[in-house]
Each structure stands twice: as C-alpha cells, then as structure tokens.
Amino acid sequence: MTAQCDVTARRATGEVMGRFERYLSVWVGLAIVAGIALGKLFPTAFEWLSGLEIANVNLVVAVLIWAMVYPMMINVDFASLRHAGDRPKGLTVTLVINWLIKPFTMAGLALLFFEGFFAGLVPADDAKAYIAGMILLGAAPCTAMVFVWSQLTDGDATYTLVQVAINDLIMIFAFAPLVALLLGVAEVIVPWQTLLLSVGLYVVIPLIAGALTRRHLFGQGGQTAVDRFTGRIKPITVMGLVVTVLLLFAFQGERILNQPLVIALIAIPLIIQSVGIFGLAYLWARGWHVPISIGAPAALIGTSNFFELAVAVAISLFGLNSGAALATVVGVLVEVPVMLALVKLVNRSRPWYERAPTVRQRRGT
C-alpha cells in the first residue's frame, strides 16, 4: 500500500460517529413531525413547491439531494482501486450480496408482505408504491455511512475505500437496469427516461464533480485540504437530508394521519431484510475464512443502503407525495438503529468469529 493511500484510508474511516450520524433517526423523526404539521398549516405553499419540476425532477429536491450526495463523492478515492485484488474473498462477498442477492430478496420480501401478509391493510395502489420504494432501497448499496460502520468494527480501512469505489462504478451501469427489472416484476410501470435521468443527476454527475473536487483539493493541500473542505460543507449535507424528509412528510401528512400504521408496516420487511442480509454475509465470510477485519465490513456494507439515492430516484420517478418516496424515507428512519445494533453484534461476536479453526488471519486472505 502506498503511503498516500494509507493516509487516505485511515482518515476516511478514522472519524468516530458524529452527533448527527448517531442520532440520525431522531433528526429524521423530528423532521417527520415538523413536515406533517407544516403540511397541514400551509398546504398551498407545499403544493406550489411540488410544481417546481423539469422532466419530472423537482428542482427543490434536486438541490437538496445534491447537497447530500456531492460531499460523499468527494470522499471516494479511486486511487484505492489498485488494491482491488488484494483481498478478493471479502470483495466477492460484498459484491455478490450487493448486486446478485440483496435487490432480489428485498423485492421478494416487499411482495410477500404487501401483496400477502398486509394485503388487507393498505389499498392495492399504495401497496405497489411501497413495494417500488423498497425495491429502490434494495438496489442502492451504501457509499457513505459504510466508512462509519467499518471504523466502529475496526475494519480494514483500505478495503472500505476499495469497496466504495467499486460499488460507485458498478452503480453507474447496473442501478437503472436492475431497478427496471425488479419494478417490472412488481408490475410497476418504469419511465426509463426519468430513471436514466435520475442516475445521471444523482450518481454520474456528483461522482464526476466529487472526483474533480477531490483532485483539486488534494493538489492544493493533500488529504488535510480534503478533510477541511468536507468538514465545512457537512452542515449543508445535514440540512439537505432533514429538509428533504420534512418536504416528503409535508406532502404525505394527510395519508399518514389517515393510516398511522403505515410506517410500521413498511419498517417490518426492511428490518427483516437488513438482519437477514447481514447474517448471510457474515456467516459466509466466516465460513470462507475471511479475517474479521475484512468480513465484518463486507457484511455491513452489503446490509447498508444508499438511501439518499433511493429517495432521489423515488421522487423523480413517482413524485414527492408518492408511497414510493415515503417507503424510502422509512428506510432512513430504521437504518441507523438497525446498523448500530449489528455493529454491536459484530463486536460482541468477535471471539466466536475468530475461534473458527480454519480462519486464516494473515494479510491478503
């Protein structure tokens, strides 16, 4: 590993979870309450905001999503790709989980619950919208909070950087076809033009902008300049997420008040999906003799979602006041407490993981 890559990796995962990340579910909960209240008090204002669209993309939300996604892309170090072959087993676990298993299990659970178990509890059209939102969550692997989960489990920093970089590159080409396939299976009409536009707006352009910004900052002052810049714009990122959730629930308020159990109904399959995917990846990594410093991040990366992208695409495809957008926001609500519980499980199960008699802990396994 080069000295530059080592420094980048340590700093990318070296920050402990900040106050915002640790209490993300609290801020989202407060934004939900505020959004419902403001939507009831000022319905005309929010109707006007929802009309600010170009090609089915709401301009206000587009700016807010960019505020969330762009800073994350600055942290992606594509120089780490030279180490992609150093730990092939851990990388294989996560990529198979992310792209060949997780999207399909999420679609299956969504259909099972909303066309099976919950069929009599929500209207059929709403059920299809919730299924679509959950499919978008399942098809969007995380690229930001993974640094936090890796650091909290003493994961290998360089591996995390490699994983994020490769996932982002795959997402450019695989996200739209995968989403279209699964939405088609769920009998949801896919507006291809809007889907491709969303990928361009919220993945390709921010990724290019982040890479160019990182290159410029690194040339000015190395990793210190990158850290300083991302630290300064972090409040904008926080505001973007909170305001986006507020807007969504301002439009969804009437529906939620009429169906107070809907959030819990959406959360149930999302939680089952997270726990199931984590268990599969974690046991696979242990059984395949992957060191825990690689296996734990591989499992957690496969479990976490790029919910910012899912929210953005749901809004673009189905609208601000859609059930699909609501489902993706519920994903934000449940992700942090679930992931923190899984982090705790990893740390407590470390002795069990490392007791496997054939686990080889040498570097490069």
Which one has a higher pLDDT value, 313 or 254?
A: 313
Task: Band the pLDDT of 16: cuts 50, 70, 90.
Answer: very low
Which one has a higher pLDDT value, 306 or 188?
A: 306
Alpha-carbon span 148 to 343, nearest angstrom:
10
Q: What is the pLDDT of residue 191?
A: 66
> What are the CB-based long-range contacts (under 8 Å, 24+) for 23-29?
24/332, 24/335, 24/336, 25/333, 25/334, 25/335, 25/336, 25/337, 27/238, 27/241, 27/242, 28/241, 28/242, 28/245, 28/329, 28/332, 28/333, 29/333
Which one has a higher pLDDT value, 57 or 97?
A: 97
pLDDT tens digits, residue range 328-345? 888 877 887 888 889 889
CB-neighbour burial class of residue 184 (10 A; exposed 0-12, middle 13-18, buried 19+): exposed
Mean pLDDT across the stretch 176-197?
A: 77
Q: What is the pLDDT of residue 171?
A: 81
Q: What is the pLDDT of residue 363?
A: 46
**CA 244 from centre of chain:** 15
Contact 331, 305 (CB under 8 A): yes
Mean pLDDT across the stretch 350-362?
A: 67
What are residue 234's phi and psi, to 5 degrees? -60, -40
Alpha-carbon span 146 to 210, nearest angstrom:
17
Considering 18-22, 59-63, 199-203, 295-299, the range whose residues carry the highest mean pLDDT is 295-299
Is the torsion defined by CA of 211, 217, 222, 227 positive or negative?
negative
Q: What is the pLDDT of residue 56?
A: 60
Beta bridge partners of 57: 54
Is the pTM value of this prediction over 0.85? no
Q: In Å, how far are 131, 286, 364 from 361, measured between CA atoms?
A: 41, 11, 9
Across 92-101, 125-134, 192-201, 259-268, least confident range: 192-201
Q: How many CB atoms lie within 10 A of CB 52?
A: 12
Alpha-carbon span 348 to 303, nearest angstrom:
18
What are residue 87's phi and psi, to 5 degrees? -135, 70
Q: What is the pLDDT of residue 265?
A: 92
Q: What is the pLDDT of residue 21?
A: 58
Alpha-carbon span 128 to 118, nearest angstrom:
12
Residue 15 has pLDDT above 70, yes or no: no
Residue 164 has pLDDT above 70, yes or no: yes
Task: Band the pLDDT of 279: cuts 50, 70, 90.
Answer: very high
Q: To which residue do tokens 């993300």 refer?
A: 24
Task: Band the pLDDT of 80: cuts 50, 70, 90.
Answer: low
CB-neighbour burial class of residue 260 (10 A; exposed 0-12, middle 13-18, buried 19+): exposed
Pairing of strands 53-54, 57-58: antiparallel
Residue 273 has pLDDT above 50, yes or no: yes
Token pair in block for residue 220: 């000015």
Q: What is the pLDDT of residue 190?
A: 63
Task: Band the pLDDT of 13: cuts 50, 70, 90.
Answer: very low
